[in-house]
């Protein structure tokens, strides 16, 4: 039987860049202890009070079909949070609750791009981006950022592609680089979007993980609210990756259409998950800071370790749960380095090349294991790199 081109072409062919990850998982399955610094997931689980609230909501009967756009009270809570953090007037009519940020990314592109439209995104990129754009029938066009700019996108690199494009997808704080876009970067991006009438899709799922500088939502820049869709999620801010709860914030009219899309795709998010998400959000900043704290601590630890050697350079890591390490001094590609490190020391990191070609000669380290083991692994990585350099 024929399978649709839309789905069979989702990955676009070629290596998916997960070879090192898969090799590490095979080694683990065969009984070898591997230190995994690959996946973007907390080493803690969802906090007990959030789970207790989820249980309470389920036992109270919130187990039937929930309101497709999201419960009124969760939409209000998300709207209030966004308004408080950005100053942009936001009501529940600007909010659709989705089953996680990934579903929100897909829906946002469904709502903005027709089949054959060009959708822009930046390299290095989160692994699912090109497939998500292909999945809605858009033509993904990647734009490289540069290591010498610490991967801050240049508006002048985007402009040549903008005239024939429909949307631009950005992500700050950034996975995989840990870079937080500056005000100047975001103003440059906003100017390109306004000049060329682009939708801006702003993936802000790491907005509570900022170690240096501040998170600025481009929706708050002048005249940008009308052309920006913000993607948010409970996954990273509240260690709720498995609960699958996120949102899209944008102009009322497109949110109305996105609600229609939800009716015909996801049919909403379970009520008890939404109630627990609302409970978690109304705990306020203290809980979010507590969840972000281990990454803040490990980043400080990493800076100390990396300051003691010259073979590995840290891309200024201002946010998110990752470090991007420049290993070009070793003469190896990111892929060679990651494979050799796994073979020699049973430490798994992601090759920069897994996230596009702009981060060639780099590796991404997830700060997702406890401090002492993290520090030891980083020291081993550095001395391994020094041996090669
Ligand atoms: N965007 C980025 C940049 C991510 O790293 C992730 C998850 N790793 C997501 C979106 C999706 O997150 P979720 O679907 O769990 O909200």
Mutate to test the pocket of ligand 1, among 21, 41, 46, 126 (most ligand atoms within 8 A of CB): 126
Range of the domain at 168: 63-284
Interacting residues of 314 by C-beta distance below 8 A, sequence separation 6+: 302, 303, 306, 323, 324, 325, 326
Do 214 and 185 touch, CB atoms closer than 8 A? no
Is residue 133, in this structure, part of any structural domain at all?
yes
Best CA proximity match to 182, nearest among 155, 156, 158, 208: 155
Residues in the chain predicted with pLDDT less than 70, given as ranges, are 14-16
Q: Is residue 56 one of the residues assigned to a domain?
A: no
Q: Would you say the pTM of this structure is higher than 0.95?
A: yes
Q: What CATH number does residue 254 fall under?
A: 3.40.640.10
- 378 with 315, same domain: the answer is yes
- Asked whether residue 193 falls in the same domain as residue 325, the answer is no
Provide the angle, in degrees to the nearest 10, between the axes of the packed helices 271-281 and 48-59.
Answer: 140
Domain boundary among 284, 307, 327: 284
pLDDT at position 14: 62
The token pair at 12 is: 């676009």
Evaluate whether residue 57 is within a structural domain.
Answer: no
- Say if 108 falls within a structural domain: yes
Query: What is the number of structural domains in the chain?
Result: 2
Query: Same domain for 296 and 268?
Result: no
* Ligand 1 atom with minimal separation from the 99 CA: 14
Do 128 and 164 belong together in one domain? Answer: yes
- Whether 27 maps to a domain, the answer reads yes
Q: What does the block give as tokens for 372?
A: 């002492």
Please indicate, yes or no, whether residues 277 and 311 belong to a single structural domain of this protein.
no
Which of 238, 262, 284 is the C-terminal boundary of a domain? 284
Q: 52: part of which helix (H) or strand (E)?
A: helix 48-59
Task: Give the closest residue (by CA) to ligand 1 atom 13.
Answer: 101
Of 314, 301, 311, 307, the C-alpha closest to 376 is 301
Handedness of CA 110, 89, 235, 38 (dihedral sign): positive
CA 343 to chain centre: 29
Distance CA(70)–CA(213), nearest Å, equals 32
> Per the domain annotation, does 52 fall within a domain?
no
Do both 126 and 248 map to the same domain?
Answer: yes
Strand order in the sheet with 350-351: 313-314, 322-326, 362-366, 350-351
Same domain for 300 and 377? yes
Please indicate, yes or no, whether residues 224 and 85 belong to a single structural domain of this protein.
Answer: yes
Which of 251, 284, 317 finishes a domain?
284
Residues 6+ apart with CB under 8 A from 313: 306, 325, 326, 329
Alpha carbon of 102 to ligand 1 centroid (Å) = 6
Kindly state whether residue 322 falls inside one of the protein's structural domains.
yes
The verdict on residue 50 lying in a domain is no
Question: How far is ligand 1, taken at its centre, from the CA of residue 386, in Å?
Answer: 33
- Residue 101 parent element (H or E): helix 101-112
- Residue 93 shares a structural domain with residue 120: yes
My answer on whether 123 and 219 are in the same domain is yes
- Pocket around ligand 1 at a 6 A CB cut-off: 40, 100-102, 126, 171, 175, 203, 205, 233, 235, 241, 246
Q: Please report, for the domain that includes residue 363, its CATH number.
A: 3.90.1150.10
Atom of ligand 1 nearest to the CA of 233: 16
For residue 14, the CA-to-ligand 1 centroid distance in Å is 23
Ligand 1 site-directed mutation target among 131, 170, 205, 277, most atoms within 8 Å of CB: 205
In this structure, the answer to whether residues 294 and 257 fall within a common structural domain is no
Residue 255 and residue 210 share a domain? yes
């Amino acid at each position: 039987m024929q399978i649709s081109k839309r789905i069979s072409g989702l990955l676009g062919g070629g290596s998916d860049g997960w070879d090192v990850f898969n090799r590490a998982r095979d080694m683990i399955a065969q009984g070898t202890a591997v230190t995994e610094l690959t996946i973007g997931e907390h080493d803690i689980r969802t906090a007990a009070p959030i789970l207790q609230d989820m249980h309470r909501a389920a036992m109270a009967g919130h187990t039937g079909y929930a309101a497709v756009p999201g419960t009124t009270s969760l939409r209000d809570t998300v709207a209030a949070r966004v308004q408080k953090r950005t100053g942009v007037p936001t009501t529940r009519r600007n909010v659709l609750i989705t089953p996680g940020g990934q579903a929100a990314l897909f829906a946002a592109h469904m709502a903005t791009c027709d089949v054959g439209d060009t959708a822009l995104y930046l390299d290095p990129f989160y692994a699912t981006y090109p497939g998500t754009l292909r999945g809605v029938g858009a033509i993904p066009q990647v734009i490289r950022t540069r290591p010498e700019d610490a991967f801050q996108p240049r508006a002048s690199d985007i402009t040549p592609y903008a005239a024939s494009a429909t949307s631009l997808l950005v992500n700050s704080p950034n996975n995989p680089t840990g870079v937080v876009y500056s005000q100047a970067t975001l103003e440059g991006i906003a100017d390109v979007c306004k000049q060329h009438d682009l939708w801006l899709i702003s993936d802000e799922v790491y907005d509570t993980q900022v170690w240096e500088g501040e998170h600025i939502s481009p929706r708050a820049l002048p005249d940008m609210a009308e052309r920006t869709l913000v993607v948010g999620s409970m996954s990273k801010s509240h260690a709720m990756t498995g609960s699958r709860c996120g949102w899209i914030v944008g102009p009322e009219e497109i949110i109305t259409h996105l609600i229609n899309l939800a009716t015909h795709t996801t049919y909403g998010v379970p009520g008890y998950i939404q109630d627990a998400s609302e409970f978690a959000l109304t705990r306020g900043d203290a809980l979010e800071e507590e969840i972000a704290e281990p990454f803040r601590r490990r980043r400080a630890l990493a800076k100390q370790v990396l300051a003691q050697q010259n073979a590995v350079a840290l891309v200024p890591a201002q946010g998110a749960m990752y470090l991007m390490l420049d290993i070009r001094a070793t003469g190896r590609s990111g892929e060679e380095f990651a494979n050799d490190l796994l073979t020699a020391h049973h430490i798994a990191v992601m090759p920069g090349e897994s996230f596009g070609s702009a981060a060639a000669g780099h590796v991404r380290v997830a700060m997702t294991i406890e401090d002492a083991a993290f520090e030891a692994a980083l020291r081993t990585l550095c001395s391994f790199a020094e041996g090669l350099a």
